[in-house]
Chain A
Amino acid sequence: MKIRTLRLLAKEGTANVYKNKLMSFASLITIMTTLFVLGLVLLVIVNVISNLEAKKQDLQVKFYLRVDASRMEQEEVAMFIENGRASGVVSEYQYESREQAYENAKKDLKHESLMEGLTPDNFAEGYFVSLTDPNDSDQFIAKLKLLSGIDSQWITYPKDELDKITGVVRVFNYAAIFVLAVLMIISVLLISNTIRLTVFARRKEIEIMKYVGANDWFIRFPFIIEGMIIGLLGALLSHLLTSQTYGWIKDGLNNLFSSIKISDLQLIEFDQFAIRILVVYIIFGTTIGIIGSLMSVKKHLNV
């Protein structure tokens, strides 16, 4: 097909959006609401994942130096951790000196008698390290073991908990893909139903075009453009609706969480995901529009 013809047909499709106002509106609402539902479901999943990821950050590698570690060895460990922070492997850490360890122990142990005869020198220096990427923990621990100042049996990391969280995050990731797929299918069915009505109303037109000798693409193309435009408009409107609704829900829930003291649960900002959601919406909206158009025109082309 020539460019000239494509341009002509694109113009035709654009004009049809306006000429068939009612059907365009119905399709637009359908796309908008399905994308809206899709977006909210995705945002719930993203929130669950992001809160779980935040939980992962709370998991710390804890280790203690040998009580008899030399000054050189102490400095070597301090240097290693500082380097880790500089290179971004370590996100933050707390250092516990012998004195602090002694004080903490005194606080924890209610019976003074148990502390009798102990001085800070009997305690080891400790580090509590948060990793930027909890998945690096194995590697990080392996390196710690190479440092002679560290008592390798006192390196601990809640690996079980990490694995559990990682497992749950994976489940939610699959859930996201599943939800996307299901909603995609539902949307296509919904929209093709709406477009089918449009096409049914215009089947006579299609028939005439066929009798005059138009080939299938000549007939399909304007419908594709029409579906694309409606899909795009639906995506944009839905994005607006989603951002407003989400902002409202987020404020409400964050207030609720802080009022019932679960302040470590935090809903993410919409702005963080605004672009990604818009891209998903546009891809979905236009694809749904195009597939819907193709499906509903198909039946009437066999004249």
Chain B
Amino acid sequence: MIRFVDTTKVYSNGVVGIKNLTLRIEKGEFVFVIGASGSGKSTFLKLIMHEETPSEGEVYVNGYSVHNMPKSEVPYLRRSLGVVFQDFRLLPNKTAYDNVAFAMQIVEALPREIRRQVPLALGLVGLSKKARAYPEQMSGGEQQRIVLARALVNNPAVLIADEPTGNLDPKTSLEIMELLDEINQRGTTVIVATHEKSIVDAMKKRVITLDRGELVSDVQKGLYTDEN
């Protein structure tokens, strides 16, 4: 499903994002990627979604060779991924419904398909009532759930979340995590980068720990503090 083979990413300013990383994530897994700021968590996710390309080594995602991918194929890779960001990133001048529908319009889904799937996705994240609201009219937690609905609506094989609870209060964070778990139960591979100890410890999932770009530990049913 996702495979890094001796991957290194050095940014143009010399900063090392990822160093000699080799690992696999199988279909249906739920994985936390943890580490302090600058540990390479974000770089790891950026490499998966082709926001960055590796300086050395190989990256395979959903059957795509991301390390030597033609530019024209990038949209297709991204459509096979659902992406969730810390700062939500909803289109500001579209309603919740239209934001979710947008992901389906991109793949040129049939209008009746859109009319069926979007309410389902909104229902799944528990925000059917907010369909007509604009992002600025919603709380952070609500916005993040809309983002989740958008990420899910095309049934992606992999869901990537970069600090999805970074801007949310603990209670809302937990709700988002429960949603992610639920999504994972339906068969979607979920990869979450976070530095929130309480969440990682509560979920007891596979934990990949990075430090200065290097893999420090990789344990099943791990805790945030497993490396020590």
Contacts and interface: CB of A to CB of B under 8 A. Distances in A.
Interface of A: 1-2, 4-5, 8, 19, 204-205, 207-215, 218, 303
Contacts of A215: 72, 75, 106
A218 B76 CA distance: 13
Given A4-B111, A19-B93, A205-B91, A213 B79 contact: yes
A8 B106 CA distance: 11
Interface in B111-151: 111, 150
Nearest to B92: A205
A1 B108 contact: yes
B49 A211 contact: yes
B34 interface: no
Contact of B78 (A2, A8, A19, A211): A211
Q: Name, among A19, A209, A214, the residue most crowded by chain B CB atoms within 10 Å (CB to CB).
A: A214
Contacts of B77: 213
Q: What interface size band does chain B fall in?
A: 20 to 34
Interface in B60-117: 72, 75-79, 81, 83, 85, 89-93, 102-103, 105-108, 111
Nearest to A208: B89
Contacts of A1: 108
Contact of B89 (A2, A4, A204, A213): A204
B169 interface: no
A214 B75 contact: yes
A2 B107 CA distance: 11
B58 to A, nearest CB: 22
Contact of B106 (A19, A214, A303): A214
A5 B108 contact: yes
Nearest to A204: B89
A19 B92 CA distance: 12
11 contacts: A5-B105, A207-B89, A209-B91, A209-B106, A212-B79, A212-B103, A213-B76, A213-B78, A213-B103, A215-B72, A215-B106
Contacts of B90: 208
Nearest to B51: A303
B91 A213 contact: no
Q: Name, among B83, B105, B107, the residue most crowded by chain A CB atoms within 10 Å (CB to CB).
A: B105
Contacts of B78: 210-213
Nearest to B80: A213
Contacts of B75: 210, 213-215
A238 to B, nearest CB: 29
Q: Name, among A4, A208, A210, the residue most crowded by chain B CB atoms within 10 Å (CB to CB).
A: A208
B108 A212 contact: no
Given A19-B93, A204-B89, A205-B91, A212 B111 contact: no
Nearest to B106: A214
B62 to A, nearest CB: 12
Contacts of B107: 213
Nearest to B78: A213
Contacts of A19: 93
- Nearest first, the 3 A-B pairs at minimum CB distance are A213-B78, A213-B79, A215-B75
A204 B89 CA distance: 8
A278 to B, nearest CB: 34
Nearest to B154: A213
Contacts of A303: 51
